[in-house]
Amino acid sequence: MKKYLIVVNPEKDINLNITNRARDYIISRGGSCRIVDGFDFCSETCITRELTGDAECILVLGGDGTLLKVAGEIEDIDIPLYGINLGTVGFLTEGEVSGLNTILDRLLSDDFSIEERMMIKGVVKKTDGTEYRKRSLNDIVISRAGFSRLIGLNVSVGGSLLDAYEADGVVVATPTGSTGYNLSAGGPIVSPTASLMVITPVSPHSLTSKSIVLSGDEKISIEIGKKRKTQDTEAIVSFDGGNDVELSAGDVVNIYRSNRITKLIKANDVNFYEILRNKLGGSQK
């Protein structure tokens, strides 16, 4: 690949030293490169080919959050992403600044593989008839609003009631998102290239509520119950940690597999299980 678009989080690379270094190296090796501010880029209603130009690869410089925003906003563009970690944990942004030139050499010489990651889509149906739709690479999370305590969540799968939770919220995660909020809430870690969804209640008021692993072809429906007599907004739904939508009693969030995938470039020889052990403090040989 010779043509690149760098999307940078300016809060992670304040003076753009790393970004400019990457651009200069790409150009010195016969490639072309354009730089855009990640906040401006992801503020577009959707990211189209007009915005990405003739780029063959989008280099995302930031943390996992920046990469998730880019992945969620891309609309009908078949461009793979590669993340260079300027954040903390970095499960998705596999590249490290210390190995920047080596990474770029592999990309420029087509020495890499591509992983296809499942995405999910959420359709929010409000009682007033309005709808909101959004895709996520990591997860869709419904959580309590404001100072409300427990919220009521009637969760159905394939039209059948799975459970009626009283909880702080619920996480519906993709395999990619299993190492995110799902993990913090006690959910399982699954292989990122699997085709499935995980439902994990957050602090449920129950001794028996556990995570449920579902086929990627299932359809999940979550209805918000009424718990607050003096508060209209019962909960908030967020997509990959952003794009929050307020939810009231009777509102429904339908979640299912998206017809789009995210293509992530793998340009080093460290596999997911090694990353998992290193990032989460597993034992070392």
In order, the DSSP letters of 104-140 are HHHHHTT--EEEEEEEEEEEEE-TTS-EEEEEESSEE
Whole-structure pTM value: 0.89
Phi, psi at 32, each rounded to 5°: -125, 155
Q: How many Å apart are CA 133 and CA 203, to the nearest integer?
A: 27
Q: Where are the domains of the chain?
A: 3-112+267-280, 120-259
- The CA-atom distances, in angstroms, between 253 and each of 13, 58, 229, 233, 268 are 36, 31, 22, 15, 38
Greatest pairwise CA separation for the chain in angstroms: 65
Residue 282: per-residue pLDDT: 59
> What pairing do the DSSP bridges indicate for beta strands 233-239 and 131-136?
unpaired
Q: Would you write out the chain's pLDDT as a tens digit for each of its 285 residues?
A: 999 999 999 999 989 999 999 999 999 999 999 998 888 877 755 565 566 778 899 999 998 889 998 888 876 678 899 999 997 767 788 888 989 999 999 999 999 999 999 999 999 999 999 999 999 999 999 998 876 678 999 999 999 999 999 999 999 999 999 999 999 999 999 999 999 999 999 989 887 788 999 999 999 999 998 766 556 678 999 999 887 899 999 999 999 999 999 999 998 877 778 877 877 765 555
Report, at the CATH architecture level, how domain 120-259 is classified. Sandwich (2.60)
Q: Clarify whether 64 is annotated catalytic.
A: yes
Instruction: Tell how far CA 81 is from the center of its chain.
Output: 13
- Point out which residues pair with 85 in neighbouring strands: 62, 96
pLDDT value at residue 277: 81
Q: Specify the CATH class of 3-112+267-280 in words.
A: alpha beta
- Pick the catalytic residue from 24, 37, 54, 64: 64
Query: Residue 134: what pLDDT?
Result: 92
Query: Do the bridges between strand 131-136 and strand 139-144 make them parallel or antiparallel, or are there none, so unpaired?
Result: unpaired
**CA distance linking residue 88 with residue 51, whole number of Å:** 28
